[in-house]
Chains A and B, each alone.
Chain A
Amino acid sequence: MSTRTLISPAQLSRPRGKRLYWVTFAAVVAVFTLVFLGPLYWLVSSGFKDAQEVIQTPPTLVPGSFEPENYSRAWEVMDLASLLFNTLYYAFGALAFQLVFDVAAAYSLSKLRPVLGKAILGMMLATLMIPATVLVVPQYLTVLDVPIIERNLLNSPWAIWLPSVTNAFNIFLLKRFFDSIPKELLDAASMDGARPMRILWSIVLPISRPILGVVSIFAVVGVWKDFLWPMLTLPDPTKQTLNVGIYSLSNGVPVNVLIAALTIASIPTLLIFLVFQRNIMSGLTAGGLKG
C-alpha cells in the first residue's frame, strides 16, 4: 500500500485493530461532517423556513414550513443580482490585471533578467513582510488622491483592480515556476527569431498552465472573500460587493431572508472550490509553505 504512518499495518490487520480502525474512522467522519457540514446544512435549510421557525427552540432538523420564496425575496430585496454582478466584475477584472501584469513581471524577472531585477524583486517581496492591515490607512489615502494622475478612485473598480496587482506572493509563485522551465527551450526559440513576447505567449504560457490555474483561482477567491478594502473604497451601495452589501443590509431584513441571502452568496465560491478542488489543494501545498 501507500507509505506507512503512525499505526503499523500489522496492528491494523489484527481483528481488534481492524475493528478499532473502523470505529474511529466512523467517529471521525461523523464529527467532521457534523462540525463542517452541519452549519452549512443549517444555513441552507433555514433559508427555507418561515421567520417563526428559524428562531424557534428547539430548532427543527428538517424544515417544517417550506418557503422557497425566501430565496427569491432575498434576491430582490437585497438586490443580490447587482451585488453578484459587481463582485464578478471586480474579481475577474482583478484576475485579468494580475494575469497580464504579474505574469509579465515574473517572466521578465525570471527569464529576461533586467538590470536591477533582483532589487525590484526584493522590494516586491518586502511588501509581504509589512502587515497588510497597517498599510490600509495610507493605501486608502492614496486611493482618495492618486499621486501624479491626481485622481480619486473611490467607488471605481480601479480601486480594487490596481492594488490587486501588487500581489508579491503570486509573482513569487510564477517566477519560481518560470525558473524551472529549461533555458535551452527558450534559447532555441530565440534562435529561430522569436521575440520575448512571442516566447512568452507560445512557449512559457502553455507550459505554465498549472500554475496559472492556481494563481487565477487565488486571485478570484481573494477578491470574493475580501471585506475591509471594498467596504472602505466602495461606499456607494450600488457599487458594493456581496460581502459588504449583505453586511450593510443585514439589520434591515428578516432573519430567514438574510440566511437565504448568505446561502446564495456562498454558492459561487463553493462551486469554484468543488470544481477546482485539485488545483486549489496542489497550489496550497506548492506555495503555502512560503509566504
Chain B
Amino acid sequence: MSAPSLTPSKAANHRRNPPRAAGPAPSGGRFAKSLKRNLTAHGFLIGAVLCFAVFSWYPMVREFFLAFQKTDGGTTTWVGLDNLTTVVNDPAFWQAWRNTALFTVLALVLGFAVPFAAAVVINEFHHGQGYLRLLVYLPVMLPPVAAVLLFKYLYDPGYGLLNELFGVFGLPEQQWLQDPDISMFAVVVASTWMNMGGATLIYLAALQGIPGELYEAAELDGAGILRKIWHVTIPQTRLILSLMLLMQVIATMQVFVEPFLLTGGAGPEGSTTTVVYLIYQYAFNFNNYGAAAALGLLLLVLLAGFSAAYVKLSRAEDE
C-alpha cells in the first residue's frame, strides 16, 4: 500500500496474477492455475447468474416470442402480427396512451418541479434541515396500500378532508376520483406525495455540491434570487436534473399501482386506464398473454429510446 504513484487501474493491471509465495502451490501449469481461478470465480457467480437466467433473461426473450404467438389450451401457434392488430384496434388502446401521456406530463410538471423547489427551499435553511428531509421522505416508506387508501379517504366527496379544506378557502367542492376530468390529476397529486422524497434528497445532495463563490460572483453582478437560481443553481445541477427527468419519464410511463388502487384501474369513463393497466387486463383478466406481450413490446420500444438517452447521460456524468 506504500506505492501511491500508480493509479488504481494500473495497479490492477500490474498484479493480475498475484505472487503466491507462501500459499499452497497448485499443481500443474499456468492453464490449470487459471482454470482453477476461473472455476472459483464462476462458483461465486453461479447463484446470481442462475436467478438472472430464469427470472430475467429468459422472460426477456420470452416476452418477445409471446408477442407473436397465441396460446390456446396447451398449443402455441405463431400468429405474426395478429396480437399487435388486436391491441391497436382495441378502443381502449388510444385512450390508454393518451391517459399515460397525460399522467407523464402532469407527473413531470408536479413530480419534477415540486421536489426541486422543495430541495432549493430546504437548502436555504440553516436550521431544521434534518427534520424537513425526514418529513419529505416519510411517505416513501409507507406501504403503497396505506398511502393510496389514505388518499382515497382524503379525496372522498362526502367526508374527505380535501373538500373540507377547499370549503375553508371558499373553493367549490370537487368529485375528485369520480370526475373523469380531474381523476388523473388527483392520481398524480397522490403519486407525487408518495414518491417525491427520493428525488428531493437527491437534489439536495446536488445543491450542496454547488460552490458558494458562484453565488457571490452572481451577486456582484447584481443578480436577485430568481436570477441566481436561473444562472447558477439550475446550470450547476443540470446533469442530475436531466438524469432525473429521464428516469421520471421512464418510471411514470409505467404507472400502475396508484390508479389501480385509487380508481380500480380504469377510473370513471376509463379516464385513468394506463398502458400498463391495459397490459394487466389482457394478461390477467382476459388471459390473452399474446396481446399483453405485444402491448408490452410497444411500450418497451418507446422506453428504449429514453433508456438509451439515460445511459448516454450517465456516462457523461461519470467522466
A-B contact pairs, 17 of them (CB 8 A): A8-B219, A101-B48, A120-B49, A131-B300, A133-B276, A134-B279, A134-B300, A135-B60, A135-B296, A137-B63, A142-B55, A165-B55, A166-B55, A262-B150, A265-B146, A284-B198, A284-B201
Inter-subunit contact B58/A142 (CB<8 Å): yes
Docked Cα-Cα span, A243 to B148, in Å, equals 11
State whether A228 and B257 are in contact (beta carbons under 8 Å apart), knowing that A8-B219, A288-B201 are contacts in the complex: yes
Number of interface residues of A (CB under 8 A): 109
**Choice from A28, A59, A187, A193 contacting B132 with Cβ under 8 Å:** A28
- Chain A residues contacting B142 (CB-CB under 8 Å) are 266, 269-270
Q: With CB as the reference atom, state the residue of chain B lying closest to A200.
A: B44
Q: With CB as the reference atom, state the residue of chain A lying closest to B132.
A: A32
- Chain B residues contacting A289 (CB-CB under 8 Å) are 202, 240, 243, 314, 317
- Chain A residues contacting B314 (CB-CB under 8 Å) are 289-290
State whether A133 and B254 are in contact (beta carbons under 8 Å apart), knowing that A182-B1, A270-B138, A288-B202 are contacts in the complex: yes
* Stretch with Cβ within 8 A of A (4 or more), from B14-22, B80-88, B175-183: B14-22
Please provide the chain A residues from 40 to 84 with a CB less than 8 Å away from any CB of chain B in the complex. Answer: 40, 42-43, 46, 54-59
**Choice from A162, A193, A247 contacting B23 with Cβ under 8 Å:** A193
- Chain A residues contacting B164 (CB-CB under 8 Å) are 57-59
Inter-subunit contact B150/A43 (CB<8 Å): yes
Q: Is A203 an interface residue (CB 8 A)?
A: no
- Chain B residues contacting A46 (CB-CB under 8 Å) are 153
Q: Is B31 an interface residue (CB 8 A)?
A: no
**Choice from A183, A270, A288 contacting B198 with Cβ under 8 Å:** A288
Nearest-CB distance from A56 to chain B (Å)? 7
**Choice from A36, A37, A137, A185 contacting B293 with Cβ under 8 Å:** A137
Please provide the chain B residues from 267 to 281 with a CB less than 8 Å away from any CB of chain A in the complex. Answer: 276, 279-280
A-B pairs under 8 A by CB, number: 302
Docked Cα-Cα span, A101 to B131, in Å, equals 36
Q: Is B106 an interface residue (CB 8 A)?
A: no
Q: Is B101 an interface residue (CB 8 A)?
A: no
Inter-subunit contact A129/B311 (CB<8 Å): yes
Inter-subunit contact A100/B18 (CB<8 Å): no
State whether A39 and B150 are in contact (beta carbons under 8 Å apart), knowing that A147-B54, A265-B145, A291-B247 are contacts in the complex: yes
Q: Is A23 an interface residue (CB 8 A)?
A: no
Please provide the chain B residues from 58 to 80 with a CB less than 8 Å away from any CB of chain A in the complex. Answer: 58-60, 62-63, 66
Q: With CB as the reference atom, state the residue of chain B lying closest to A195.
A: B40
**Choice from B58, B125, B296 contacting A134 with Cβ under 8 Å:** B296
Q: With CB as the reference atom, state the residue of chain A lying closest to B63.
A: A138
- Chain B residues contacting A272 (CB-CB under 8 Å) are 141
- Chain A residues contacting B20 (CB-CB under 8 Å) are 190-191
Q: With CB as the reference atom, state the residue of chain A lying closest to B44.
A: A108
State whether A140 and B45 are in contact (beta carbons under 8 Å apart), knowing that A43-B146, A55-B158, A285-B205 are contacts in the complex: no
> Mask for B113-156, Cβ within 8 A of A = 1, else 0?
00000001111111110011111111101111110011101100
- Chain B residues contacting A131 (CB-CB under 8 Å) are 250, 253-254, 299-300, 303
Nearest-CB distance from A51 to chain B (Å)? 12
Nearest-CB distance from B60 to chain A (Å)? 6
- Chain A residues contacting B198 (CB-CB under 8 Å) are 284, 288
Inter-subunit contact A3/B208 (CB<8 Å): yes
3 smallest CB-CB distances across A and B, nearest first, come from A114-B41, A112-B41, A105-B48
Inter-subunit contact A137/B289 (CB<8 Å): yes
- Chain A residues contacting B125 (CB-CB under 8 Å) are 25, 28
> Mask for B3-28, Cβ within 8 A of A = 1, else 0?
00000100110010011111110000
- Chain B residues contacting A107 (CB-CB under 8 Å) are 44
Q: Which of A109, A132, A262 has most chain B Cβ within 10 Å?
A: A262
Q: Is B166 an interface residue (CB 8 A)?
A: no
Please provide the chain A residues from 1 to 53 with a CB less than 8 Å away from any CB of chain B in the complex. Answer: 1-8, 25, 28-29, 32-33, 35-37, 39-40, 42-43, 46
Extra inter-chain contacts (13) besides given A5-B210, A136-B280, CB under 8 Å: A25-B128, A28-B122, A105-B45, A131-B250, A131-B299, A137-B66, A138-B293, A142-B58, A193-B23, A227-B144, A242-B143, A265-B145, A289-B202
- Chain A residues contacting B211 (CB-CB under 8 Å) are 3
Q: Is B284 an interface residue (CB 8 A)?
A: yes
Q: Which of B56, B58, B124 has most chain A Cβ within 10 Å?
A: B56
Nearest-CB distance from B209 to chain A (Å)? 9
Q: Which residues of B contact A (CB under 8 A)?
A: 1, 8, 11-12, 15, 18-24, 37-38, 40-45, 47-49, 51-52, 54-60, 62-63, 66, 120-128, 131-139, 141-146, 149-151, 153-154, 158-159, 161, 164, 193, 198, 201-202, 204-205, 207-208, 210-212, 215-216, 219, 225, 228-229, 233, 240, 243, 247, 250, 253-254, 256-257, 260-261, 276, 279-280, 283-284, 289, 292-293, 296-297, 299-300, 303-304, 307, 310-311, 314, 317-318
- Chain A residues contacting B135 (CB-CB under 8 Å) are 32-33, 36-37
Q: With CB as the reference atom, state the residue of chain A lying closest to B283.
A: A137
Inter-subunit contact A191/B149 (CB<8 Å): no
**Choice from B41, B261, B276 contacting A108 with Cβ under 8 Å:** B41
Docked Cα-Cα span, A258 to B150, in Å, equals 10
- Chain B residues contacting A165 (CB-CB under 8 Å) are 47-48, 51-52, 55
Docked Cα-Cα span, A30 to B129, in Å, equals 13
Docked Cα-Cα span, A199 to B273, in Å, equals 53
Q: With CB as the reference atom, state the residue of chain A lying closest to B226.
A: A6
- Chain A residues contacting B59 (CB-CB under 8 Å) are 135, 138-139, 141-142
Please provide the chain A residues from 240 to 291 with a CB less than 8 Å away from any CB of chain B in the complex. Answer: 242-244, 246-247, 250, 255, 258-259, 262-263, 265-266, 269-270, 272-273, 277, 280-281, 284-285, 288-291
